[in-house]
Amino acid sequence: MKIRILLLSILFLAASAFIARTSRPEIVPIRESLSGMPMSIGSWEGREVHQIDDRVMAVLGVDDYVSRTYYSPELYPAGLYIGYYQSQRQGDTMHSPLNCLPGAGWNPVKNSHIRIPIGENSSIEINRIVIQKGIEKQVVLYWYHSHGRVVASEYWGKIYTVLDALRTNRTDGALVRVICPVSGADSEAEASAEAHAVDFVKALFPLLNHYLCQ
């Protein structure tokens, strides 16, 4: 009986602590706006694209975003989209491109993970998908970025969001997506598109902590 009382007491204390933590105002980290991201990233030069319309913004639920096309010295394009969520407590959560792209007519035909070296002794594992619309193909690299953590899995991203809410009282995070067109129908063209996307990610990644808080 004493053990049961002790266990119940511990559970009540844990529940009280959980309720107290979740009822507190969420911490809002200080960061730079994504609009301040430089137009020159490594050897890539950026150009603004049209703003996302209000209907799409309402669906995405982002608090800040950047949508640009960057060009390599050979004028090869890489489309960059970063959507930042200050809080994911009220139903606004990061959307997987696997859910959004088909709505624009793009169908995923390949889906895998790749590992990209970042710096001398570290690397990140991210998603790689190939999407197709008619005869057009594109290589898409994307991941979920929160508190300096890179996560490929949407499900693990949600688990970490819950754990971070309990541990740090924060649920901020971002989706980072890079798209490069495939200029040809063979495997070499697809590999070339991936190589350009990887090159851009390597140049972009060191900048992200200025705009996505650790």
**132 has pLDDT over 90:** yes
**Interatomic CA distance for residues 212 and 67, integer angstroms:** 15
> Which residues sit opposite 125 in a β-bridge?
115
Query: Most distant CA pair in the chain: distance in Å?
Result: 76
Phi, psi of 22 (to 5 degrees): -70, -20
Cα(30)–Cα(43) distance, rounded to whole angstroms?
Answer: 29
Per-residue pLDDT, 16: 46
Angle at 100 between CA 47 and CA 190, to 5 degrees: 65
**How far is residue 62's CA from residue 94's CA, in Å, rounded to a whole number?**
8
Three-state DSSP class for 183? Answer: coil
| Domain boundaries 31-210, CATH class | alpha beta
Apex CA 22: angle with CA 17 and CA 26, to 5°?
130
Beta strands in 16-91 (DSSP E): 40-41, 44-48, 64-71, 77-85
pLDDT, residue 54, reads 66
Other Cβ atoms within 10 Å of 169 Cβ, number: 13
Spans of all domains in the chain: 31-210
Confidence of residue 23 (pLDDT cuts 50, 70, 90): low
pTM of the model: 0.83
Most confident of 3-12, 52-61, 98-107, 194-203: 194-203
103-108 long-range contacts (CB < 8 A, ≥24 apart) are: 105/133, 106/131, 106/132, 106/133, 106/138, 107/131, 107/132, 107/133
User: Residue 98 corresponds to which tokens in the numbers above?
Assistant: 């696997």
**Which is more confident, 11 or 213?**
213
Residue with tokens 């819950």: 162
The amino acid present at 32, given as its one-letter code, is E
pLDDT tens for each residue of 64-115: 889 999 999 999 999 999 998 887 777 667 778 887 787 778 899 999 999 9
